[in-house]
């Protein structure tokens, strides 16, 4: 079977010719594909471990929580650490939940090994966890349009005004 006979068969059978051309295009495009364009967490792998000697001498969260300076575990047991976990009453009108946004310490009663609680970080209250509800929505004026809770100038919205707004409750 010569090369010319293969070409003649490809001319006669268009489906095989299309698949052959498609295979060539896929193989050729694989040489131009850049694997760095894939999404991923490339800054969290061993190729980029951090700044030497700081990444070896200090724990990861020292930018947010102060380091205790100890290089050993604590003497805590599970009987000592359970009360550090925040527990609030179920269902309150003040919207207080166990889901804290800003924690005092990353190891607040949920350490897998109890002797790691209190071993690395000191307490540091970053911000307040108390959330306050928004005040009543502002009144709609003639030259404004309500978008959700907020108002915007009516000249920013294209087209005719839609009519009077419903009162906010």
pTM: 0.47
Work out the percent of the chain whose per-residue pLDDT is above 90: 0
Among the listed ranges 4-13, 19-28, 34-43, 57-66, which one has the minimum average pLDDT value?
34-43
- pLDDT of the residue at 45: 55
Contact 98, 55 (CB under 8 A): no
**pLDDT tens for residues 25-46?**
988 887 776 666 555 555 555 5
pLDDT band at 169 (very low <50, low <70, confident <90, very high): very low
Give pLDDT tens digits for 127-163. Answer: 887 777 778 887 887 777 777 777 777 665 566 655 5
Report the distance separating Cα 90 and Cα 82, nearest Å.
19
User: What pLDDT does 155 receive?
Assistant: 61
Q: Which residues pair with 146 in a beta bridge?
A: 151
Residue with tokens 């030259």: 143
What's the confidence (pLDDT) of residue 158? 61
């Amino acid at each position: 079977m010569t090369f010319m006979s293969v070409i003649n068969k490809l001319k006669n059978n268009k489906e095989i010719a299309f698949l052959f051309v498609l295979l060539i295009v896929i193989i050729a495009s694989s040489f131009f594909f850049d694997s760095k364009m894939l999404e991923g967490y490339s800054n969290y792998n061993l190729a980029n471990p951090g700044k030497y000697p700081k990444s070896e001498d200090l724990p990861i969260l020292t930018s947010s929580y102060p380091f205790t300076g100890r290089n050993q575990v604590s003497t805590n047991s599970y009987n000592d650490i359970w009360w550090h976990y925040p527990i609030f009453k179920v269902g309150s009108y003040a919207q207080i939940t166990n889901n804290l946004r800003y924690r005092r310490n990353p190891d607040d009663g949920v350490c897998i090994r109890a002797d790691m609680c209190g071993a690395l970080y000191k307490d540091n209250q970053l911000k307040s966890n108390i959330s306050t509800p928004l005040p009543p929505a502002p009144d709609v004026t003639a030259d404004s349009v309500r978008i959700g809770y907020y108002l915007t100038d009516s000249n920013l919205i294209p087209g005719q005004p839609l009519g009077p707004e419903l009162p906010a409750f």
